[in-house]
Copies of this chain bind each other. A is one copy, B any other.
Amino acid sequence: MNENVKLPAELRIGLVGGGQLGKMLIEASRPWNVKYTVLENDLHCPASSVADKVIEGSLKDAEAIRKLAQECDVLTFEIEHINSDVLLEIEESGKTVIPSARALKIIQDKGIQKLFYRKHGIPTADFVICDSPSDLAKAVQPFAGEKVVIKQRTGGYDGKGVDVVSKNDIASGKFQSPGPCVVEHFHANIAEYSVIVAVDRKGNVVTYPLIEMYFNPQSNLVEFLFSPAGTTADLDSDYRAVAMCAVQALQSPGLFAVELFVTQNAEVLVNEIAPRPHNSGHHTIEGNYTSQFEQLNRILLGLPLGNTEMVQPAAMINLVGGEGQSGKCKLKFTDQLLSERGVYVHLYNKAEIRPHRKMGHITVMADSLQALLEKTGKVREWAVFEQD
């Protein structure tokens, strides 16, 4: 690929996966008229409303991914659960794949991901890998505390495939092993942060201001988050450095989200890395000079990295399906939301609502962090759907 791309860039990007991350990635590219072809098993996927072309096919289907690669200049993905072997093959054949298939392979398997952190001296919770269900009870014994974290090595997503389990329940057989898994030390009362890290094709790296996250204890989804975080500037800088080191060890261009745990003893641990735009970076669309989605477009096109500073403090609230909701739905408080200064509603073009399903998100902006948190508290009350 030409190393000095200018705009308009006559490149077609192939995107494996057509969910909301793909939709927002393509939306961010529209002012530059980049062409996107999406592979998804549903022609009515969220990204279909903005993509130039949708190829129908499974994200695991080598043939479908090869077909996508053939008609595109650069390949990327918006979800990890895809056929990475064929990505490796496509990369070997000389086509640009961003992030690299090798980086995806490390991340796809949480066992390999944890070993990677250990090998590179990246701080992470203590763990053992346990591939045989019958070994689980023995494997959890050495861990301090009453509980452990059990993570499926592959296939987990959006809080699914991760369980906090009491060692007694494992010993008694009340909790059944999910198969090959990682057993992790359970840190109670952690604070959760995220750092978005962008690496261009020449290896230049930038990080976004620290993001402070609050999760829904039932669904394990982000309920709301804000940036800059309520820490000192020193900690913001330290945590961003940890995230940057973790991503640099992957030696791949791309846009990454690094989830961090900070323990009660102020220890920083890398929980996991997502090799794509991330729910924790949605506030950057309005809040930062360069959104995570524009940033990934820049990387894919071989353009310079954009500035990551914040225009204003920003928060993000997920719009998820409520308990018992199904079928068609509408926002209940449209007028309230749209009458508030600096409140932005993003909907993901999903036809049907389901409990905990991510249907959209809301960005909130304010002049100060204090004003932001006050406004966010109010807006959270309005972040609900009603059935149509």
A residues lining the B interface (CB < 8 Å): 4-8, 23, 27, 30-33, 49-50, 52, 289, 298, 303-304, 306-307, 309, 311-312, 330-332, 334-335, 338-342, 344-347, 349, 365
Q: How far is the CA of A289 from the CA of B366 in the complex (A)?
A: 10
**Most B-side CB within 10 Å, residue of A4, A303, A334, A340:** A334
Q: How far is the CA of A6 from the CA of B334 in the complex (A)?
A: 5
A67 CB → nearest B CB, Å? 23
Given A304-B335, A311-B312, also A31-B330 (CB < 8 A)? no
Copies of this chain present: 2
A87 CB → nearest B CB, Å? 28
Given A303-B335, A304-B335, also A32-B309 (CB < 8 A)? no
A7 CB → nearest B CB, Å? 5
Contact B303 A32 (CB under 8 A): no
Contact of A304 (CB < 8 Å), options: B52, B306, B338: B338
Contact A6 B307 (CB under 8 A): no
A362 CB → nearest B CB, Å? 11
A210 CB → nearest B CB, Å? 19
Q: How far is the CA of A8 from the CA of B307 in the complex (A)?
A: 32
Residues of chain B with a CB closer than 8 A to A7's CB:
330-331, 334, 345, 347
Contact B31 A341 (CB under 8 A): no
A49 CB → nearest B CB, Å? 6
Contact A342 B307 (CB under 8 A): yes
A180 CB → nearest B CB, Å? 39
Residues of chain B with a CB closer than 8 A to A347's CB:
7-8, 31-33
Residues of chain B with a CB closer than 8 A to A4's CB:
335
Q: How far is the CA of A103 from the CA of B216 in the complex (A)?
A: 51
Q: How far is the CA of A345 from the CA of B5 in the complex (A)?
A: 14
A313 CB → nearest B CB, Å? 12
Closest-by-CB residue of B relative to A52 is B49
A-B contacts, 21 of them at CB < 8 A, read A5-B334, A6-B332, A6-B334, A7-B331, A7-B334, A8-B347, A27-B27, A30-B49, A30-B50, A31-B344, A31-B347, A33-B49, A33-B347, A289-B341, A298-B338, A304-B338, A304-B339, A307-B341, A311-B311, A311-B342, A311-B365
Given A32-B345, A50-B50, A346-B31, also A303-B338 (CB < 8 A)? yes
A175 CB → nearest B CB, Å? 40
Residues of chain B with a CB closer than 8 A to A339's CB:
304
Q: How far is the CA of A40 from the CA of B306 in the complex (A)?
A: 35
Q: How far is the CA of A347 from the CA of B7 in the complex (A)?
A: 8
7 additional contacts (CB under 8 A) given A6-B334, A8-B347, A307-B340:
A6-B331, A7-B331, A7-B345, A7-B347, A23-B30, A33-B349, A289-B342
A132 CB → nearest B CB, Å? 47
Residues of chain B with a CB closer than 8 A to A341's CB:
289, 307, 309
Q: How far is the CA of A298 from the CA of B307 in the complex (A)?
A: 30
Residues of chain B with a CB closer than 8 A to A365's CB:
289, 311
Q: Which 8 A-B pairs have the closest CB atoms?
A: A307-B341, A6-B330, A6-B334, A31-B346, A33-B349, A304-B339, A7-B331, A304-B338
Q: How far is the CA of A23 from the CA of B188 in the complex (A)?
A: 50
A190 CB → nearest B CB, Å? 32
Residues of chain B with a CB closer than 8 A to A311's CB:
311-312, 342, 365
Q: How far is the CA of A124 from the CA of B304 in the complex (A)?
A: 48
Q: How far is the CA of A349 from the CA of B9 in the complex (A)?
A: 11
A376 CB → nearest B CB, Å? 16
Q: How far is the CA of A331 from the CA of B8 in the complex (A)?
A: 7
Q: How far is the CA of A289 from the CA of B340 in the complex (A)?
A: 10
